[in-house]
Each structure stands twice: as structure tokens, then as C-alpha cells.
Amino acid sequence: MITMQEGLIIIGGAEDKKGDKKILNDVCQHIDKESQLLVIATVATEKPIEVGNEYSGIFHNMGIKNVGVLDVENREDALKIENVELIEKASLIFFTGGDQLRITSILGGTPLYTSIKRKYTEGCVFVGTSAGASVMSDTMIVKGMDDESPRKCTLKMAPGLGLINGVIIDQHFAQRGRVGRLLVGVAENPQVLGIGIDEDTSIIVNKENVFRVLGSGAVYIIDGSNISDTNVSEQYQDNILSIFDVKMHVLKTGDKYDLNTKRPIV
């Protein structure tokens, strides 16, 4: 059954590709397998042929008849009319992992970028895994320390695609110990929610800005709107971050969260 009201699927990376494939099966429920086109965007990876072939094989085996690969390795490719036409025909666009800064630096300001933004407003379903997940927000984490205590100003951020606003998304979350860097991101931008997504775990966001969790791991919501005190500044950047009255929610598969009210749905 196609769920058209859910337009954004954000995966924490390393989704199951050989077992039950629950997340990828859910992705396939958002498209008519017989008639609609699923496009795999390999912009983030430096191995586009390998990654494109892998996902094409997976989706074909899951019954998707029409699968295309958007092979964009540089800004010249983002100007080609055939690539714009491929996006215009798509009903679902799947951004693979790799380096999220490659996506925005290659696509930004091009006709292909304009087409992607318009397609989302018109109801095209967008999916992103790993780097493809981070790039979905209007501000994204580019670089930060894994498995370390949070420090005052050690996070590199950049504009993302802006398909979802008011959040910062981090992926491979528990597996790479990224709670510290997401706390820094929220301390620097307390008006936005930090969303950390474990591997083989996803959030599926509907048009009302409510998401449900699907997968084998957890999703972590860090809400800094009620922070009472923090030592964030550009001075003494390597000092340990101090942050008071930050709120965290942990969600498992089946749980829901309202991004408008910043509350889980019980």
C-alpha cells in the first residue's frame, strides 16, 4: 500500500540489505512498483558505480520495475539536461551514503538542485541513508569528534538540502558514539532539535511533521529549547562543554514524535 502522506525517510546508515530488510521494504511501500520510477542518487559516494549497482540490484529484487541511477560526480554533471530529466520523472529519490558535503557542494545552485527542491514540494518521496540522511536538514553536521566528551566549539556545520527544517540529524549514532557532537550542535543552535539515528534505524516523516521510528536501533531526540546555561563560545574551543537543563527522548521502533510540539506521541 502506497503511503503518499509520508514524504521523507531518514536512515541512520547500515540498513539491513540481506535479512528481512524492514527499512528497505518500507521504502518500497512508498512507490508503485509497476509504474513509478525510483532514482538512486550516488552523489555522496566516491564509488558511484559500485553503490549504484548494489542498490539497483536490491530494489529490482524487491519488485521495483523501474530503477534509475543519478550519476553525478561533479558540478558539470549537475548541469546536464538528462540528469535533470531523470529527477523530473522520479517518484522516489534515494540518496546513498558517503560524504554529505559532496552532495551540497556539487548540487548547490545548479538546475539539478532546483529540480530536487521542486520535486519535494510536489510530493516526490525522498530517502537518505548515512550521509544522505544528514543532508536532508537545512543545517547539517559535516565533521565532529566521535566517542569523546563534548567540547565547546569543535563541530563543523554547513547548509544541507533543507527538505526538513528545525533539526540537525546525525547518523551511525550509538555505533560511533556521537552523542557528544550532537550535544555541541544543539548547544550552538538551541532553537533546533538534535536527532541521532542508530544504524539500521529510520524515521519516516509525514506531511504533518510527525515521524514514526522503524528499525532495530533507537532514535535520540535532544531538545535544547529550555537550556538554562552553557559555556559555548569561540574562546578556548577545546574546553569541555557545559550545558544545563537539556532534554533527551529515546524512541524505539513504532514510537512516534511530533516535531511541531516537540513531544513524543504516547
Residues in Cβ contact with 195 at an 8 Å cutoff, skipping those fewer than 6 apart: 10, 167, 168, 169, 170, 203, 219, 220, 221, 222
As a whole number of angstroms, the distance between CA 194 and CA 79 comes to 33
Across 124-155, b (16+ Cβ under 10 Å) vs e yields bbbbbbbbbbbbbbebbbbebeeeeebbbbbb
Query: Would you please indicate which residues are annotated as catalytic (active-site) residues?
Result: 130, 148, 172
SS (H, E, C) 144-209: CCCCCCCECCCCEEEECCCCECCEEEECCCCCCCCHHHHHHHHHHCCCCEEEEECCCEEEEEECCC
Q: Which residue has the cell 512516534?
A: 256
